[in-house]
A = this chain, B = another copy of it.
Amino acid sequence: MSPAFADERRARVALSFLADPGDPVLGRALRTRTAAEVLAATTSANDAGDAVLLAEGEDLTLSKAMGKWRKRVSLVPSVARLATWQQGGLRLVVPGDPEWPTQLDELGDARPLLLWVRGSADLRYSCMNSVSVVGARAATGYGQHVALQMAAALAERGLTVISGGAFGIDASAHRGALAADGLTVAVLAGGLSYGYPRGHAGLFAAVAAQGILVSECPPDQAPTRPGFLIRNRLIAALSRGTVVVEAALRSGALNTARHARELCRPVMAVPGPVTSEQSAGCHELVREYGAMCVTNAKDVVEHLNPGGSGDEAGAGPAGPRRGPAIDTDRLDPVTRAVLEQVPARGGRGPASIAIRAGVDLDTAVRTLGLLAAGGFVQRCDQGWRVRQAE
């Protein structure tokens, strides 16, 4: 293996080719070790590696897992191949990067090693005020209609629509957000270059142009059957809440809802005809799991922002500010300082914002651009203002 992988970032890439996505044994190992250390132990001679780990009181699980990972070492790509992907428009985002969505850290040991990203928007800012809209591949015309309308209305309210890029409800959700000139994020179960399902090549190109494609899998990798379920935790963890539009009783969308519930994020379900099998999972979520019954984007926004009016995404209990609700805990201090100087009415120029926020003009302009990409602020005649609800 190339010594270039000795650094932490490249060690994560290498490990992403060795372990399956969300491998909890690797996650646990990374609690106390760097990726480079785990990689070094994995690729070192069998006996020596085991000896080091066991000497530290590690249980046999990690030792066994390393044995499995070691068999895949030949899959680790060369630096040149990595460069090819990056030249092809993919970028690598790892924990600690500015674009890393820190809400993924709530996944604990199941946090992804890294994310491959393609698209014009900033992943972290895009997901900060987002909602997942998911559902059955075998959707009905009703479900597709509702997903499209709801995603468009959510996007118009400044929310990023996250989904899984699949046929059916997922595709309608992405298309609705795109049609409303909103941001949308497609979290794929396979690699971004593989681009499954192939029939969605056009949709994925549109998503990348206006939003973001994301995957934790090596770019060329085909999706595996368990991979779809493992991917669902990312959809739930990236968003502030999950809406299930249509789902049969054993639909994978219910798995996404379960992840959202485990993360204590709001789970919402769209009702449908009781005569439709594709709505049975939604009704079960409402009946058995306390999911909120939502009928339109206003209901969704209300449920994401309890106490808000629903007519605007930002009228949360925190104050009278108009515009999308922002979980300011997730903002870094500089961004928060800049955002606080953007007025809710009228407008303010970037130089004035920079002075008031105590940052230089370049930082202010760059931060305002990111906040705009996230749907939090918008340009106006007088400069910048908090984004108004449509």
Hey, which chain B residues are within 8 Å of A280, CB to CB? 295
CB neighbours (8 Å) of A299 from chain B are 287
A248 to chain B, nearest CB (A): 13
Please provide the chain A residues from 257 to 300 with a CB less than 8 Å away from any CB of chain B in the complex: 270-275, 279-280, 283, 286-287, 292-296, 299
- The one of B142, B271, B273, B275 in contact with A283, judged by C-beta atoms closer than 8 angstroms, is B271
Cα of A293 to Cα of B299 in the assembled complex, Å: 17
Q: Please measure, in the bound complex, the distance between the C-alpha atom of A384 and the C-alpha atom of B167, giving whole angstroms.
A: 57
Q: Which residues of B contact A287 (CB under 8 A)?
A: 292-295, 299
Q: Write out the residue numbers on chain B whose beta carbons fall within 8 Å of the beta carbon of A279.
A: 271
A295–B272 CB distance below 8 A: no
Q: What's the number of copies of this chain in the assembled complex? A: 2
Across the two chains, which residue of chain B brings its CB closest to A272? Answer: B273
Q: Which residues of chain B are within 8 angstroms of A272 by Cβ–Cβ distance?
A: 271-274
Q: How far is it, in angstroms, between the C-alpha of A270 and the C-alpha of B292 when the chains are bound?
A: 15
Contacts of A283 in B (CB 8 A): 271, 293, 295
A145 contact set on B, CB distance < 8 A: 275
Q: Mark A71-107 against chain B: 1 for CB-CB distance below 8 A, else 0.
A: 0000000000000000000000000000000000000
**Total count of chain A residues near the partner, CB < 8 A:** 20
A368 within 8 A of B: no
CB distance from A272 to the nearest CB of B (A): 6
Residue of B nearest to A293 (CB): B286
Does A178 sit at the interface, judged by CB under 8 A? no
Q: Is A153 part of the contact surface with B, judged by Cβ < 8 Å?
A: no
Closest residue of chain B to A285, judged by CB? B293
For A293, what are the chain B residues with a Cβ–Cβ distance below 8 Å? Answer: 271, 283, 286-287, 293
Contact call B295/A146, Cβ cutoff below 8 A: no
Q: Does the CB pair B273–A142 fall under 8 Å? A: yes
Least Cβ–Cβ distance between A216 and chain B, in angstroms: 33
Q: Which residues of B contact A286 (CB under 8 A)?
A: 271, 286, 293
Partner of A296 from the list B142, B146, B274, B295 (CB cut-off 8 Å) is: B274
- Nearest-neighbour CB distance to chain B for A268, whole angstroms, equals 10
CA distance A273 to B274 in the complex (A): 9
- 14 residue pairs of the A-B complex, CB under 8 angstroms, read A142-B273, A142-B275, A146-B274, A146-B275, A270-B274, A271-B293, A273-B273, A283-B293, A283-B295, A286-B286, A286-B293, A287-B292, A287-B294, A287-B295
- List 13 additional A-B contacts (Cβ < 8 Å) besides A271-B272, A271-B286: A146-B274, A146-B275, A271-B271, A271-B279, A272-B272, A272-B273, A273-B273, A274-B296, A280-B295, A283-B293, A286-B293, A287-B292, A287-B299
